[in-house]
Amino acid sequence: MPADARQPNTNQRRAIAWKDGPLLVLAGPGSGKTRVLTARVARILKDDPDAAVLALTFTHKAATEMREKLEALLGVRTERAKLTTFHAFAVDTLRQHGAHVGLRPDFSLITLDADRLELLTSIAKSLEDEGEEPFADRHRLLKMMDYLYRELYDGGAEAPGFRETPPWVPRLFKMYNEALIQANRQDFGSLLYSLARLLRERPGVAQLIRLTWSHVCVDEFQDTNKVQFELLKLLVPPESNPDLFVVGDDDQVLYQWNGASPERLKALQHDYNMEVIQLPKNYRCPPEIVAVANRLIEHNRSRDPAREPLTPTRAAKDGEVIQLCSHLNDQEEAAWVAEHIAARVPNAKNCVVLARTGRLLEGVAQALRNVGLTPHLAKKRNDLDTPPVRVVIQALRLAATRADREILRQLCVAWSRLTEETLELEEVVALATTAGDDYLRGWSDAVAQRLEERPDWPELNHIEDLHRQLRDRLVDGFDPAGLIAGFLETAQATWAARFGADLQEELEIWKDLAVTTAPPNPRTLSAYLQAMDLTPKVTPRPPGSVPCYTVHGAKGLEFDHVYLIGMAQEVFPSFQALRSSQRERALEEERRSCFVAITRAQETLTITWAQRYNGWDKAPSMFLAEMFGSGPEDEGA
């Protein structure tokens, strides 16, 4: 029985009812943590009519799920609880108080790495002209900026991550931040950095925000990086003995590349002198899977020795729960997995294929197609970027501001990509001066002139129709919801021949977003665009398809039948982890990833590996011996 369908167990009840200061809930996989967190929020709101709860998590999906469960518990929507992500909270706070750090309320987000690269490249070029030598690889500069933001770099002579800090680093960091502020922009890294700066430099604002929320909850705390942890301490000072409720699991720390660390949970307990309640009962997995998960994770030496092992709550099942199978090579492995899943039809949709990397999944996806099944490879994008989609989104952005020169420039670039003819920024600005500096009307007038001058334009009918939609719905009238609905309905038929699968994927992503985000009216357009910026752009899963996910992509999900492929040495754990200068630390993260993978299974777990990948001989993964010793026999291919 799912955790949500039963009465809370003893430890869950203690956590829901807790009233004695900061509390850490160590929640293992399948332990009903989301149910506990939302039940606690509901209990607080019912008990105290003056209470207000801020609940922070890491993904839009998790925040939406918590919001829906809370509304189901309360029976009504409530404004007294804000369930949101760290980044969305940062945006909302900076819109209200960002003037203290130089931001106007209508600031926008840079969502494409290409746009960030363009800005960084111009700054790096100016430094090179002065004799400095920033990294020639501009993508390396991007990664450096993200790292400095995560580590709350103060702009001084000693930057984190450098033995000796080159003099150009603080200059580039300062110039990039100043350029963002001057353009009234932020990127995803600078958002949290700017909020931390605001709360540090303006204690009055920090106190005002603290007084807004009587209770603060954080979900998936193990995923926090340094800037997020410091933000929490600025919002909820440890010395105040706050009503802070944190849910986390040091066995599921997977994002060390993004600054997460198993040590952060220990720092949290130390800084807040936290009481701890453990939720070891697993309501998801059969006992056979719980047993191998426990055996695996016990090999992580850095674990808290007081951590309780997972406890199964389900009875053992008849039949084979765990199956191991080796193959000669990765092609044979993929074909076997596909045939095994096909044999489960019509229940193939309840299967998932997991791998450490996306490359292995591509072979399985093709093998699934070969047996007549539809694979779903979840593709994640920073933003929607095919030219027709980009034109509409940038026009919507400009409609929300009317006088933003940078958004106008991006709209001109998108239109030029669509029509393959340059539309000069200054030409549009000049026309806008005769239209009350309304850049969107100026852009529309410039496009109208071009259309009159080019009756032989390729795809003229399509281009004219798109321009007409934009002018009618955003310039002469104002109906953004109608524009979006009409575009999503007609764009595939209009532009598919030219933009193909990329356009189809982006339209599906946008339609999927529309399921959880209300259509914008004139007063909510900015909020709608903000939701678009902050929502991950992941291709929705087609009905009846077989999901093929990386282990990281499957975190937080569950499936009846899990196929974990690539369990070979130098594949999982990876070659990089085995050769790392911090080998033990790297292997512990790999082991946690494997732990997460196997605990996605509700019914069966099938683990496969090959003797050869890409022509290279591989031994079985060390994790197999840790889980099974001389346990279940390999059935062979």
Predicted local confidence at residue 516, as pLDDT: 67
- Pairing between β-strand 311-312 and β-strand 281-282 as defined by DSSP bridges: parallel
Amino acid at 610: A
User: Residue 635 pLDDT > 60, yes or no?
Assistant: no
**Which residues are 42's β-sheet partners?**
none
Residues 6+ apart with CB under 8 A from 593: 254, 356, 551, 552, 572
Query: Which stretches of 310-357 are DSSP H helices?
Result: 330-342
Q: What pLDDT, on the 0 to 100 scale, is given for residue 187? A: 95
Phi, psi for 516 (deg, rounded to 5)? -105, -5
Pairing relation of β-strands 351-355 and 559-564?
parallel
Q: Determine the Cα–Cα distance for residues 588 and 599; give it in Å rounded to an integer.
A: 16
Compute the mean pLDDT over every residue in the chain, rounded to the nearest whole number.
92
The reported pLDDT for the residue numbered 436 is: 83
| Residues in contact with 468: Cβ distance below 8 Å, sequence separation at least 6, in sequence order | none
Residue 593 identity:
S
Q: At what angle do helices 405-419 and 425-433 cross, to 10 degrees?
A: 120
Task: Tell me the backbone φ, ψ of residue 603, rounded to 5 degrees.
Answer: -130, -60
Q: 216 φ, ψ to 5°?
A: -125, 135
276: Cβ contacts below 8 Å, ≥ 6 apart: 23, 24, 25, 26, 269
Amino acid at 259: G
582-628 tens-digit pLDDT? 999 999 999 999 999 999 999 999 999 999 999 999 999 999 999 99
538 three-state secondary structure: strand
- Tell me what pLDDT residue 402 has: 85
How many CB atoms lie under 10 A from the CB of residue 72? Answer: 10
Q: 387-401 and 480-516 helices cross at what angle (nearest 10)?
A: 110
Tell me, what DSSP letter sits at residue 476? I
pLDDT at 260: 73
Torsion of CA 76, 81, 83, 87, to 10 degrees: 140
- What phi, psi does 205 have (nearest 5°)? -65, -45
Greatest Cα pair distance, the chain, in angstroms, is: 81
Helix (H) or strand (E) holding 245: strand 244-248
255: pLDDT strictly greater than 90: no
Is residue 508 exposed (0-12), middle (13-18) or buried (19+ Cβ within 10 Å)? Answer: middle
The burial class, CB within 10 Å (0-12 / 13-18 / 19+), for 20 is exposed
Residues 6+ apart with CB under 8 A from 116: 110, 142, 145, 187
pLDDT tens digits for 3-35?
455 799 999 999 999 998 999 999 999 999 999
For the record, the structure tokens of 235 come out as 């919002």
Question: What is the mean pLDDT of the segment spanning 485-494?
Answer: 93
Q: Is 612 helix (H, G, I), strand (E, B) or coil?
A: strand
Give me the phi and psi of 277, to 5 degrees please: -120, 130
Q: By mean pLDDT, which of 56-70, 192-206, 322-336 is the weakest? A: 56-70
- pLDDT tens string 260-308: 788 899 999 999 999 999 999 999 999 999 999 999 999 999 888 889 9
pLDDT of residue 515: 66
Q: How confident is the model at residue 489 (pLDDT cuts 50, 70, 90)?
A: very high
Please spell the DSSP secondary structure of 148-188, one letter per residue. Answer: HHHTT--SSSS-TT-SS--THHHHHHHHHHHHHHHTTEE-H
Distance CA 215, CA 225 (A): 22
631 band by pLDDT with thresholds 50, 70 and 90? very low
Residue 453 has pLDDT above 90, yes or no: no
**Quick one: which of 631, 622, 1 has its CA closest to 320?**
631
Determine the Cα angle at 616 with ends 613 and 617, to 5°: 90
If you search the block for the tokens 């603060």, which residue do you land on? 216
Whether 1 shows a pLDDT value over 50: the answer reads: no
Q: Please determine, for residue 557, whether its predicted confidence score (pLDDT) is greater than 70.
A: yes
Task: Convert the pLDDT of each residue in 102-136 to its tens digit.
Answer: 999 989 999 889 899 999 999 999 999 999 999 99
Q: Which strands, in side-by-side order, build the sheet including 322-327? A: 322-327, 601-610, 559-564, 351-355, 546-550, 375-377
- Of the candidate ranges 81-90, 226-235, 249-258, 469-478, the one whose mean pLDDT is the lowest: 249-258
Per DSSP, the three-state class of 419 is helix
Total residues found in the chain within this entry: 637
Beta carbons within 8 Å of 272's beta carbon, 6+ residues apart: 22, 238, 242, 244
Model confidence pLDDT, tens digit, residues 398-446: 999 888 899 999 999 999 999 988 899 999 999 998 888 899 999 999 9
Mean per-residue pLDDT for 87-97?
Answer: 96
Summarised one tens digit per residue, pLDDT across range 503-550 is 999 999 998 887 667 778 777 888 889 888 988 888 888 899 999 999
> Does position 633 have pLDDT exceeding 80, yes or no?
no
| Amino acid letter, residue 495 | W
